[in-house]
Structure 1
């Protein structure tokens, strides 16, 4: 009887063990049934694809329910990234995968490139959900009371960025080629990093308008006693404005209404009200006429050259301006030469290039030609100037690396095709987006990227 009981117990335990194994196996098989049925590269504007983790889902090497998916960042780690105070821990979404279960997974990467993988995004491919949600990485800030006459604190160290660092994926430094320590910069925008709260100004080199970008400015410009603000400086503190040392400037629109004002203060000593300004300069080394041009209100342009020959201290100079609009250029591929190889996710005809796809420059003349009177049609002269500036780039190297099935590296070179430029843009007004066609040629080899000002690219 003891023997029979022992056998019965053994058989019972064996049955239980088999049942347990079967249950685990069934669970694994059920999980492995999810398969990716479609993948798609996201093509909306890059800044609209900035996202933040919610902490509800982990990050995986593959969509989480697909066989072989491994954890890149646990749910707990994603929760920490969700509550981070660093912009580097935001994500950029760049592709989407859908499974046969109807689930959506987004492939994302942190702004610093540390974490990359798939995160659950809900059941709707039209909105971020589940493990991520949309993020505003910067917030608009008020412009300073002074917007012109700034210099770089150190030209060799204080560079400009096409976006405040880590607020956009692969934010990069702007080429400072040709910039001198005597160049003055004008502020046109201000923003703070949402997480850190640090303040940045968007500045343009008054002597080289093709050089522009974002720079950290500490607490920003406060008043006439401000000397240094982060990467910008005024050299010496500006004196308080009096009738004996300053000239007021009032900007008027076509209706004669004031749309802005500024005050120029001389660096010269012992000047008196009523004295002519002549060729005097302020502490930043800027003359009255240049100060007037640099300080015009945003979205306006001077209606004519301002004559300051008779300007005197203690008086007001009235400057007529007209509403202005600035266009950007959408770069579209109309021809692809892929004879060099076969790569994953290649570019195709009608693909639109973004600033992250290439490093291209536009001459000062080309950038100036993009701005004109609001509502007016582009002049042939300005279209030709833009076309000439685009053509001066020759073959522009792309900024992305592509690989074939064997891991070999490739990149694209882009060549402007001017034949249809004027025709494509014949009905455009200033402020409209211009279209420029480019040929994309696949090139085998490693890519040495460079930086450039890309604020003119749509």
Structure 2
């Protein structure tokens, strides 16, 4: 009996010993999991944060070696995206995390927003490595030999974009609400999408410079006299100017000639000395329309009267010099509340990179007027009404304990009129804001800032 009890005690101790070993191994496994020691927003320019997968690593909801990390996209999926011919499969890196093991993980989102998560990025925050590498989403293309006189072929099918679609994260379409079908556009840049190879032109509306963006250009302008390519078209080549089909338009300011243009009609019954009336040119413009559109840059026509205009003669158009004011953003007060912020925003001039401040197209148009003329209080009020009341900042700040923050900017229209009461056209106007610190990362919105000083 004692022998039996003795054997039972030995057996029990053995079982307890095995149990103790199991507990120790479990604890060691949990302790071996990596921990995130920092996770911050990337502050480099958007273009430098465009990346592509290398196909060597999967995408996770958290840094891959951290407890609780779940797979968002497998290694096979990431390899497929690495070899993709679609710009939608590029990524934008926007945060970088480091673990206590010295490994680096980047938080990325695909250009189409379908995939978002952390991917292994090597051992240094100074360069992309591991599962991602820098990507050049577009390449500079050859400019067309013709840069002016383009029209939108079908805005419903091919419109304007802030960047060729999916080559920048959240590239968006541009409103064409105030554009007319007869508007002409000028090409100033040309690029191809690296993966698809498709050609895009950057065009600006000659009648409304606030309407500008990238448009798909198909095979581009090939020198043909009449054609449609992608979202653009050009009209038939004009005939040679003769006394029988043309009118010389001369622009005068204070009695001096400041420019000229030649109207050439396609009317078959045109003849020297005949009144032009409603005859049109190849673009479908009447003489009055043509003369208005062709006013030299920096001037505006007081009136265009073509009543007595005849072929083979000169039409004189009086113009006045115009000037366009720009707007400077200013922070008059900063409210950080109870937060301690690293490199806090200060009062003074506000950089356009700090906030996505927008101004309506109608308000932008009011920034131009007779050179040297005073800007009326009513006009200043209308410009002020073109601002929204609040704007979310586009720069992420951090508190001393590592919390992401951003500023919200509040605009007071009443101050705008007082601040600019003595302004004339061509002067820089001042728009003041109050900056209030808010929780959360900054906005990634991109807006037109051509009107900013």
Report the equivalent of 1:59. Answer: 59
TM-score normalised by structure 2 residue count: 0.63
Report the equivalent of 1:179. Answer: 179
What is the distance in 2 between the residues matched to 1:116 and 1:87?
16
The structure-2 alpha-carbon separation of the partners of 1:450 and 1:50, relative to structure 1 and needing over 3 Å to count, comes to closer
What is the distance in 2 between the residues matched to 1:86 and 1:53?
13
Are 2:189 and 1:189 aligned? Answer: yes
Instruction: Report SS of the residue matched to 2:78.
Output: helix
Report the equivalent of 1:228. Answer: 228
What is the distance in 2 between the residues matched to 1:125 and 1:36?
14
The structure-2 alpha-carbon separation of the partners of 1:415 and 1:284, relative to structure 1 and needing over 3 Å to count, comes to farther
Report the equivalent of 2:387. Answer: 393
What is the distance in 2 between the residues matched to 1:293 and 1:173?
30
Report the equivalent of 1:335. Answer: 334
Equivalent pair of 1:205/1:212 in contact (CA under 8 Å): yes
Equivalent pair of 2:199/2:216 in contact (CA under 8 Å): yes
What is the distance in 1 between the residues matched to 2:47 and 2:328?
17
The structure-2 alpha-carbon separation of the partners of 1:110 and 1:329, relative to structure 1 and needing over 3 Å to count, comes to farther
User: What does 1:118-137 align with in structure 2 at a 5 Å threshold?
Assistant: 118-137=118-137
Offset at 1:413? 6.0
The structure-2 alpha-carbon separation of the partners of 1:165 and 1:289, relative to structure 1 and needing over 3 Å to count, comes to same
Equivalent pair of 1:421/1:437 in contact (CA under 8 Å): no
Equivalent pair of 2:362/2:386 in contact (CA under 8 Å): no
Offset at 1:86? 0.3
Offset at 1:129? 1.9
Q: Which digits, 9 at most, give the CA deviation of each residue in 1:76-107, with x for residues without a partner? A: 22121111100000000111111112211110
Aligned counterpart for 2:240 among listed residues 239, 242, 246: 242
The structure-2 alpha-carbon separation of the partners of 1:27 and 1:52, relative to structure 1 and needing over 3 Å to count, comes to farther
Offset at 1:231? 1.9
Offset at 1:180? 2.5
Equivalent pair of 2:356/2:393 in contact (CA under 8 Å): yes
What is the distance in 2 between the residues matched to 1:109 and 1:205?
33
Instruction: Report SS of the residue matched to 1:170.
Output: coil
Mark the runs of 5 or more structure 1 residues left unpaired by the alignment: 1-13, 249-261, 295-300, 314-325, 371-378, 403-410, 424-429
Offset at 1:212? 1.6
Offset at 1:241? 5.4
- What is the RMSD computed on CA atoms of the aligned residues? 5.6
Offset at 1:451? 9.4
Q: Which digits, 9 at most, give the CA deviation of each residue in 1:357-408, with x for residues without a partner? A: 74723546748969xxxxxxxx9989x99998566313145599x9xxxxxx
User: What does 1:369-384 align with in structure 2 at a 5 Å threshold?
Assistant: none
Report the equivalent of 2:258. Answer: none
TM-score normalised by structure 1 residue count: 0.62
Are 2:149 and 1:149 aligned? Answer: yes
The structure-2 alpha-carbon separation of the partners of 1:436 and 1:454, relative to structure 1 and needing over 3 Å to count, comes to same
Indicate the structure (1 or 2) with the bigger Cα radius of gyration: 2
Are 2:377 and 1:361 aligned? Answer: no
What is the distance in 1 between the residues matched to 2:247 and 2:56?
59
Are 2:190 and 1:163 aligned? Answer: no
Aligned counterpart for 2:410 among listed residues 390, 395, 415: 415
Report the equivalent of 1:82. Answer: 82
Offset at 1:264? 8.3
